[in-house]
C-alpha cells in the first residue's frame, strides 16, 4: 500500500464518518507501513491512538480491505517526538520535529511546539524561564552549565527546546545539539564497540551548545560519566554553552562522582517548582486560545477551566491530557462543554489524580526525614527540632489532602485549627526565604506523591 492509496481510502472515509470526525481523527493519521498484513499508522497521542482504534478501527479496516489492500490488522503507534530520531511529523498538532543541528552531528529532534512563545510563565517557573531566556540570548557565556531541574512534566524539555529554537533563529550557523543522557550513553557505547572513539570525541567537542536532558540517567554508569566529564570540561574550556536537565538537584543525584556533581553545580542551578493554581489556569487558558484559532466553534462554559486547574494538580502533561480529552469530547458531541460534561469526560483522570495521601503517612514520612519520633509529631514538645518538622507535616497535610484545618489539628494530637493555620503560614513563608526548608518540602512532597 502506498501513501497515495491511503489518501484515496481516507477520502472515502470522510464520507463515512462525517466532516468533524474526519478532521479530528482520520486526517491526522499518518500511514507508516504495511507489513505481513499489519498496517501501521502514526498518531500524535496515546489518547488518540486508543480512541481511533476503538471508534474507527473497524471502519478503517473495512475501507482498506474494500480498496484492495491486503490488510488484516491495524496498529496505531505514537512516535516519540522529542526523544526518537525516527519520529515523524505530527500533523494534528502541527509539531514538526527538526534536528537541532547539521546532519552529521548527534542529537535528537526538536519539537516545534516547545518554544518560548508557547511557554506560560508563572511564579513556579519564572526563574528557570528567565535563566533559559538569558542563555538563549547568547553573548558571553555567563552561567555554565545552566542546570534545570524539577519533577516530571513541569517543562524542562520544553525550555531546553525553546532555547535551541531561539539560538538557531538568531544564528543558524550555531551547532546546537540536544539529546537525552540515555542517547549520549548509547552513542558512547556504540563508539566504543565500533572503535570510533576519536570520531565520538571530535563530534561532541565540535558543538557550540550542548544540551543533555535527564542527566540523572548517567548515575551509576561509570564510563559514561567519565566520558561525559571530559566532554563537559572540553566544552567549558572553550567557552561553549552547556545546558542540562534532571529530575532532581545535582546534590540529590546518587551514584554520581563528586567531581561530576561539583561540575554540575558550578554554573547556575534553577528548579521548576510544582505548578500553582494560577499557572495551571494560565496554561489552560493559553492552550484553549490556541486551539480556538483552529477550531473557533469550541465552547467551554465558565468555571470549567478553573475546575480543571483546581483538580488536576500533578503536572502539566496531565493537564494537557485532560484538555485534549475535552477538545475531543467537544468535537464529538458538538456542544458546549459544561462543568458536568467536563467531569464526565475526565472522570478517570480525576479519580487517578485524587489525592490519596493520608495525614498519618505524611507524619510518618516527615518524622523519618527529620529523624524524630512519630510520637513527637502529635506530642506536646515545642522545641524547634520537633516543632518545625511538625509544621512541615501540617503544611503538607493542607496541600496534599482535602482535610480541613480543624481536622488536621485533631490528627496532630488535638491541636487547635489556629495552630495549624499558623504552622501552614509559617512554612509557606519559609519556603520563599529558606532554601533548606524549600528543598525538604519539595523532596517530601515528591516522595508522598510518588
Ligand atoms: N509553563 C508551561 N507552559 C506551557 N506548556 C508547558 C509548560 N510547562 C510544561 N508544559 C507542557 O507540558 C508538557 C510536559 O513538559 P516537558 O516535556 O517539558 O516536561 P519535563 O519537565 O521535561 O518532564 P520529564 O521529566 O517527564 O521529561 C509539554 O507538552 C510542555 O509543552
Q: What is the pLDDT of residues 288-325, one digit of tens each?
A: 999 888 888 889 999 999 999 988 887 898 899 889 88
Q: Which atom of ligand 1 is nearest to the CA of 120?
A: 3
Which residues, at least 6 apart from 352, have a Cβ–Cβ distance to it below 8 Å? none
Confidence tier at 131 by pLDDT (50, 70, 90) = very high
Q: Any idea which of 105-119, 122-136, 331-345 has the lowest mean pLDDT?
A: 105-119
pLDDT of amino acid 269: 95
Q: Are 377 and 412 in contact (CB under 8 A)?
A: yes
Q: What pLDDT, in 10s, does the model give residues 194-238?
A: 888 898 898 888 999 999 999 999 888 888 889 999 999 999 999
Whether ligand 1 lies within 6 angstroms of the CB of 153 is answered as yes
Q: What pLDDT, in 10s, does the model give residues 166-190?
A: 998 999 899 999 988 988 888 888 8
Widest CA span in the chain: 80
Residues linked to residue 390 through DSSP beta bridges, in sequence order:
none
pLDDT of amino acid 106: 59
| CB burial string 362-389: b at 16+ within 10 A, e below | bbebbbebbebeeebbbeeeeeeebebb
Which residues, at least 6 apart from 304, have a Cβ–Cβ distance to it below 8 Å? 326, 337, 338, 339, 342
Confidence tier at 403 by pLDDT (50, 70, 90) = confident
Distance, in Å, from the CA atom of 47 to the CA atom of 325, rounded to the nearest integer, reads: 8
Q: What pLDDT, in 10s, does the model give residues 56-87?
A: 888 898 888 888 888 888 998 876 544 333 33
Strand order in the sheet with 268-272: 176-180, 209-213, 241-246, 146-150, 268-272
Q: Give how far the C-alpha of residue 450 lies from the chain's centroid of Cα atoms, to the nearest Å.
A: 15
Domains (ranges, CATH) in the chain? 3-77 (3.30.300.180), 98-272 (3.40.50.300), 277-353 (1.10.8.60), 359-449 (1.10.1750.10)
For residue 317, report the distance from its CA to the centre of ligand 1, in Å.
6
Looking up cell 516530571 gives: 152
Question: Which ipTM score applies to this complex?
Answer: 0.98
Whether ligand 1 lies within 6 angstroms of the CB of 283 is answered as yes
Residue 13 grid cell? 472515509
Strand, coil or helix: what is 252? helix
For residue 158, report the distance from its CA to the centre of ligand 1, in Å.
5
Residue 6 grid cell? 491511503
Q: Whose CA is nearest to atom 19 of ligand 1?
A: 153
Residues in binding site for ATP: 153, 155-157
pLDDT of amino acid 44: 74
DSSP state, 24? I
Whether ligand 1 lies within 6 angstroms of the CB of 276 is answered as no
Q: Whose CA is nearest to atom 25 of ligand 1?
A: 152
pLDDT of amino acid 310: 86
In a mutational test of the pocket of ligand 1, which residue from 124, 153, 281 has the highest number of ligand atoms less than 8 Å from its CB?
153
Q: How many Cβ atoms sit within 10 Å of the Cβ of residue 149?
A: 23
pLDDT of amino acid 25: 83
pTM, two decimals, is 0.63
Q: Whose CA is nearest to atom 20 of ligand 1?
A: 153
Q: Of all helices (H) and strands (E), which one includes residue 74? A: strand 73-77
Per cent of the chain over pLDDT 70 is 92
Whether ligand 1 lies within 6 angstroms of the CB of 215 is answered as no
Q: Whose CA is nearest to atom 13 of ligand 1?
A: 317
Q: Are 312 and 287 in contact (CB under 8 A)?
A: no
Residue 357 grid cell? 495521601
CA nearest neighbour of 336 among 306, 298, 291, 284: 298
For residue 144, report the distance from its CA to the centre of ligand 1, in Å.
23
For residue 288, report the distance from its CA to the centre of ligand 1, in Å.
16
Whether ligand 1 lies within 6 angstroms of the CB of 125 is answered as yes
Strand, coil or helix: what is 213? strand
Q: What pLDDT, in 10s, does the model give residues 347-359?
A: 877 876 665 788 9
Whether ligand 1 lies within 6 angstroms of the CB of 114 is answered as yes
443 versus 363: the higher-pLDDT residue is 363
Q: Are 95 and 111 in contact (CB under 8 A)?
A: yes
pLDDT of amino acid 105: 54
Strand, coil or helix: what is 97? coil
| Mean residue pLDDT across the chain | 86
pLDDT of amino acid 353: 65
Read off the pLDDT of each residue in 36-63 and give the average, rounded to a whole number.
83
pLDDT of amino acid 101: 46
pLDDT of amino acid 376: 92
Residues linked to residue 180 through DSSP beta bridges, in sequence order:
213
pLDDT of amino acid 102: 44
Which residues, at least 6 apart from 404, have a Cβ–Cβ distance to it below 8 Å? 417
Q: Any idea which of 270-284, 332-346, 383-397 has the lowest mean pLDDT?
A: 332-346
Residue 339 grid cell? 462543568
For residue 153, report the distance from its CA to the centre of ligand 1, in Å.
5
Amino acid at each position: 500500500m502506498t501513501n497515495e492509496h491511503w489518501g484515496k481510502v481516507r477520502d472515502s472515509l470522510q464520507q463515512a464518518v462525517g466532516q468533524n470526525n474526519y478532521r479530528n481523527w482520520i486526517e491526522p493519521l499518518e500511514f507508516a507501513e504495511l507489513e505481513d498484513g499489519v498496517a501501521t499508522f502514526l498518531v500524535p497521542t496515546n489518547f488518540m491512538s486508543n480512541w481511533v482504534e476503538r471508534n474507527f478501527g473497524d471502519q478503517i479496516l473495512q475501507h482498506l480491505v474494500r480498496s484492495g489492500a491486503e490488510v488484516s490488522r491495524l496498529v496505531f503507534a505514537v512516535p516519540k517526538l522529542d526523544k526518537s530520531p525516527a519520529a515523524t511529523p505530527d500533523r494534528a498538532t502541527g509539531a514538526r520535529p527538526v534536528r537541532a543541528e547539521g546532519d552529521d552531528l548527534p542529537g535528537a529532534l526538536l519539537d516545534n511546539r516547545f518554544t518560548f512563545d508557547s511557554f506560560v510563565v508563572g511564579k513556579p517557573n519564572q526563574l528557570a524561564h528567565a535563566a533559559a531566556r538569558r542563555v538563549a540570548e547568547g553573548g558571553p557565556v555567563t552561567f555554565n552549565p545552566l542546570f534545570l531541574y524539577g519533577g516530571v512534566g513541569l517543562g524542562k524539555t520544553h525550555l531546553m527546546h525553546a532555547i535551541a529554537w531561539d539560538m538557531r533563529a538568531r544564528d543558524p550557523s550555531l551547532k546546537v545539539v540536544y539529546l537525552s543522557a540515555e542517547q549520549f550513553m548509547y552513542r558512547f557505547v556504540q563508539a566504543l564497540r565500533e572503535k570510533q572513539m576519536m570520531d565520538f570525541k571530535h563530534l561532541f567537542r565540535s558543538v557550540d551548545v550542548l544540551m543533555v536532558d535527564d542527566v540523572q540517567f548517567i548515575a551509576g554508569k561509570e564510563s559514561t560519566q567519565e566520558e561525559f566529564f571530559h566532554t563537559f570540561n572540553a566544552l567549558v574550556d572553550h567557552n561553549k554553552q552547556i545546558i542540562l536537565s534532571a529530575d532532581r538537584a545535582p546534590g540529590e543525584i546518587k551514584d554520581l562522582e563528586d567531581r561530576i556533581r561539583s561540575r554540575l553545580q558550578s554554573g547556575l542551578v534553577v528548579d521548576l517548582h510544582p505548578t500553582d493554581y494560577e499557572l495551571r489556569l494560565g496554561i489552560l487558558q493559553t492552550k484553549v486560545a490556541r486551539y480556538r484559532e483552529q477550531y473557533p466553534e469550541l465552547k467551554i462554559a465558565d468555571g470549567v477551566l478553573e475546575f480543571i486547574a483546581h483538580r488536576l494538580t500533578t503536572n502539566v502533561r496531565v493537564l494537557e491530557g485532560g484538555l485534549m480529552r475535552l477538545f475531543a469530547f467537544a468535537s464529538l458531541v458538538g456542544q458546549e462543554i459544561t462543568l458536568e460534561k467536563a467531569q464526565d469526560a475526565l472522570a478517570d483522570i480525576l479519580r487517578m489524580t485524587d489525592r490519596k495521601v493520608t495525614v498519618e503517612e505524611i507524619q510518618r514520612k516527615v518524622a523519618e526525614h527529620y529523624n524524630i519520633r512519630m510520637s513527637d509529631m502529635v506530642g506536646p514538645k515545642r522545641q524547634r527540632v520537633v516543632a518545625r518538622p511538625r509544621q512541615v507535616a501540617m503544611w503538607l497535610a493542607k496541600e496534599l489532602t482535602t482535610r480541613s484545618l480543624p481536622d488536621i489539628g485533631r490528627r496532630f494530637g488535638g491541636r487547635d485549627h489556629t495552630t495549624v493555620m499558623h504552622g501552614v503560614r509559617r512554612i509557606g513563608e519559609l519556603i520563599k526565604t529558606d532554601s533548606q526548608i524549600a528543598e525538604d518540602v519539595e523532596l517530601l512532597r515528591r516522595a508522598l506523591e510518588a
